[in-house]
Each structure stands twice: as structure tokens, then as C-alpha cells.
Amino acid sequence: MNTDTPNAFYRLSPIQWLLFAVLLAAVVVAFSGTFEYLYVNWQREEYSHGFLVPLISLYLCWQQRGKLRALPFTGSWAGVLLTAAGLGLYFLGTLAAITTIDAYALVVVIAGVLLTVMGWQAFRWVAGPVALLLLMNPIPAFLFNNLSSALQLLSSQIGVAVIRLFGISVFLEGNVIDLGNYKLQVVEACSGLRYLFPLLTLGVIVACMVHCRLWIRLLLVLSTMPITVLMNSFRIGMIGVLVDRFGIAQAEGFLHDFEGWVIFMACFALLIGELWLLLRLSGDRRGLRDIIAIEQVLPVPAGAPVMPRALRLPVWAVTALLLAGLIPALTLPQRVEIKPQRHDFSSFPLTLGDWQARRSRIENVYLDVLKLDDYILADYVKPGAASVNFYVAYYASQRTGASAHSPAACLPGSGWRMSDFALYNVPGVQSAAAPLRVNRVIIQQGEGRQLVYYWFQERGRIVTNEYLVKWYLLWDGITMNRSDGALIRFVTPIGKSEEPAAADARLAEVIAQATHALHDYLPD
């Protein structure tokens, strides 16, 4: 029976509150592992704002209670379908043991349940705060790495421009700022992501709270990235100026962290200043206090009809769906990832035919970023030939965010310019009865040139595309319960008078023997 009445106000009955408590409990129980994953990631500086996002989302929804109590909850079958899609995404992530997928599935399920209960007319008032929950989730590791590398390069270039404004002679090589007496490495922690994600979240929150034109709110959110990049670059530039004037201690310790806090607050101030300017440009003369005013909810007028809310059929359908989803969530055993037996790279042969190797070590500051489980870094040499650098980064598991960093993202950070990038079949080398297909690129720094081959070896597959690597990671996580994999890279210098074809032949000679030896170290 339709209980909706024009000009009425609506309330939930005790039975309905109990039903919604059951729905909430079902979501919490099903996604218990996801909440643990989020809590761990919220300890990271880039996602430290995650603790506040659910609370702010709830507050923004609560702010809409005045509008919601005057609207009937009409229910929506689209919400049931959205909830089903979220549960499907959740079980996909669970089977593949990739919790990042589960985190986004949680937001989809929450949106689906609310849409089912409220219907489109009422849901549109809470759609923004619910979408805000996406910003509490970590982004996939490969996107994080690529974004971080790009921001490092951009911040380094703009930071050097700031240093030169002070009349300081400086040389930039990738992410290394050379001041003559000192060299500053713009590492991953200086990429600006620790400012970007919190500032983006603040931008969305402000956009949800202000009462102004839509284009102003959209521009406010979009501007958080250039504001972050420019202010982080200014921070890097000022560190360079202070180091040049007062020594390397200015780039370390408390001052470095203090500058970080100052820059973030300056970013927020610029965001508010931008909002004020956009309002003036649009002809809106209201003050910021009026624009971001907290909505006052008036009491229900005396004598106004107060009706119990109607529970539509979709609500009972989504309740049954969530309760049914609890069965596999609680009964499926925890999948213990398979980590195949393999030899440690410490035993990898240092003699490959006529080639003799000398091992090298990766500094701890880079190991902390790479998060690999095993590696080999060695230079193979033979009389009368240029050396061949051989590097393999092995990951026993790529489910927790650790994954191979593509040289396409890392090499520019070391100052190398990439050219002649192409897929290439290595002559005389077979992989699964087919020619070994690799990424081939010539890199240049000043007058020096090098030839680079690299590929990803994922559970017996040779893969050249890093995005395809992520697809196989998902597929093999479901079908094989494995996520081990490796990045393989070979590098050799190209002499000033040497043709690239000669360097190709040199790499092919070493690769033919190295790939045969790799079988015991990279399981199929």
C-alpha cells in the first residue's frame, strides 16, 4: 500500500531501524578483512586522511536530514543490481586475494544499499558524500608508482626553476638536483602524493559543502592537482636554496617535515582563496561564511502529518542478497597464496659462457621503495666486448601493493631520455616455442647511449605490457592462487662509433644463456 502523502514528513519505525541495523551488520561482517586492509594503509602518509573520510561522509549525509525527512523512500531495483555488482566485485577480489578490489567493492555495496532503500529522488542528496568514500581507498600500486614517478620529474623541474630564481647555479639530471657541493635526490616521498590525496579529499569536501554554481565546485576539485604540484615544487626549490646557503642539514630532519606541514596548509589556503576568487568572477558577492554555512534543520511544523516510511520490495530483495552473500564470505576458507619453490639469486651463475660477472648491491633507500623479495644485479664482461648489466627483481607476492617498477617510469628519473621504443624479437632466443619478445629502447644522457631490453615474467608468461601484467595478476590469482612475478632487464652501452645492431647482438648472446639459467629461479 502506498503511504506517501503530499507535504508529509517521514520517519523510520523501530522495525525499520532494526532492519537497517541488520543490513549494516551484514556489510561489516562481509567486509571485515577489507576494514583491516584500510586501517593498515591509513598508517601511510599518503592515505593518513583516510581515518577522517568515513566520519566526514556521515556528517555530510546527516546534514541532509532536513531534505530527506520530507522525501518518501521509493526504493529502486537499480540499487539491488548495483549491490549485486559490488558483491560480485568483492568475491572477485577475494578469490584473487587482491584486497584493493575489495575496498572499492565496499563503496559500491554501500551506494547500492542506500539507492535500494531511498530511491533516486532521495539518494541524489547523499550521492556526493557516498562517492567521497572512494577517496579513503588506496589506488592500485602500479597507478601509484606511475603517478609518483611523473610527479617526481615535474616537481624536480619546477623546483630547479625556483632555485635558479635565486641566482643559484644548479644542474638537473632526472630527479637528482646537483648544487655543486651537494646533490639532492627527489625521491618518491617528495613526489607530492602525500599532499595531493589529502588536498583532493579536502577539495571534494569543500565542493560538497559550498552552495554555489556547479562549474565552480568542479574547478575547485580539479585545481587540487596543479596547486599541489606547484607548492610541492616550491618546497623542493626552497630546500635547495637553504641547502646551498646553510648546508645539507636543511634538507633533513625536523625542518624538512615542518616545511611539509607549512606547504600543505598553504595549499589549503590557496584552495580557499581560489574559491573566493571564482565566486567574485562569477558575480557572487556572498562571503565564504555564507557559502559554506552549516545548514540549520528546522523542527517539524506543528500539525504537519508525520508518516511511517514504506518499505518497498527492493529493500527486502537487497536484504536477502546481503544475507545470502554472508554464506560464502563466512564459509569459504581463507586462501593461502601458493609461493612456488625456487632457487635464491645468491646462487645464480656468475659465468655464462665466456661472460664473467661481478655482483652489485642496491642501496637500502631504493630497496625500501622497490619492496622486492629477491634480486640479482650484476655486470657481465668478456674480453673485447662492452659490459652487459643484468637485473632481475623478483616478487614472491604482488597482492599487497608490492610490484615491479617499469623501467619506462624509472629511467627518466635517473636523467635518461628514451628513444626508439619498440617491441623486439630477440634473434636465436625462444620462449615457449616462440621468439622471445621484449621491450627494446635506446636511452641517452648527454653523449652517452645505452641499449635496454626488458620484460615481465609472470608465472611462465613473457609479458611486455605492464597493464596486461595486472590483468594476468587478477586472472592467475583466481585460477592459480599465485601472484609471483619478476622484472627482467638487460642494459649495454652503445659506443660512440658503434651501431645499435652490434649492441643487439651482444645482448642476444648474453640473454640466450641467462634465460636458460633463469628457469630454476623464476617458476613457471
Between strands 9-11 and 306-308, the pairing is parallel
Local confidence pLDDT in tens for the 524 residues of the chain: 444 556 678 888 888 889 889 889 999 998 988 898 899 989 988 898 999 999 999 999 988 888 888 888 888 999 999 999 999 998 888 777 677 888 999 999 999 999 999 999 999 999 989 999 999 999 887 777 778 778 888 888 888 888 898 888 888 877 777 777 777 776 555 666 778 888 899 898 888 888 888 899 899 999 998 998 888 888 888 888 888 887 776 666 545 665 667 778 888 899 989 988 998 888 888 887 777 766 666 676 776 777 788 888 999 999 999 999 888 777 766 667 788 888 999 999 999 989 999 999 988 877 877 888 999 999 999 998 899 999 999 998 887 667 777 887 777 766 778 888 889 998 888 776 678 899 999 998 878 899 999 999 988 889 998 888 888 888 888 888 888 889 999 999 998 888 999 999 999 999 988 988 888 899 88
Residue pair 137/69 in contact (Cβ under 8 Å)? The answer is no
Concatenate the DSSP letters of all residues of 462-516 into one string. Answer: EE--HHHHHHHHHHHHHHTS---EEEEEEEEEE-TT--HHHHHHHHHHHHHHHHH
Residue 252: phi and psi, rounded to 5, are -125, 160
Q: How far apart are CA 158 and CA 166, in angstroms?
A: 13
The residue written with cell numbers 592462487 in the block is 481
| CB-based burial label for 452 (10 Å; 0-12, 13-18, 19+) | buried
Listing from the earlier edge strand, what are the strands of the sheet with 183-185?
171-173, 176-178, 183-185
Reduce the secondary structure of 203-230 to three states and give it as a string: HHHHHHHCCCCHHHHHHHHHCHHHHHHH
Query: Would you state the cell numbers that stand for residue 455, as one nine-digit string?
Result: 620484460
Q: Which among 362, 386, 392, 385 has a CA at the least distance from the CA of 515? A: 392
Any alpha helices (H) in 355-441, and if so which ranges?
364-370, 407-410
Q: Of all helices (H) and strands (E), which one includes residue 200?
A: helix 193-209
Identity of the residue numbered 400: T
Query: Would you state the cell numbers that stand for residue 145, as one nine-digit string?
Result: 608508482
Residue 8: phi and psi, rounded to 5, are -90, 160
Does the predicted model carry a pTM greater than 0.85? no
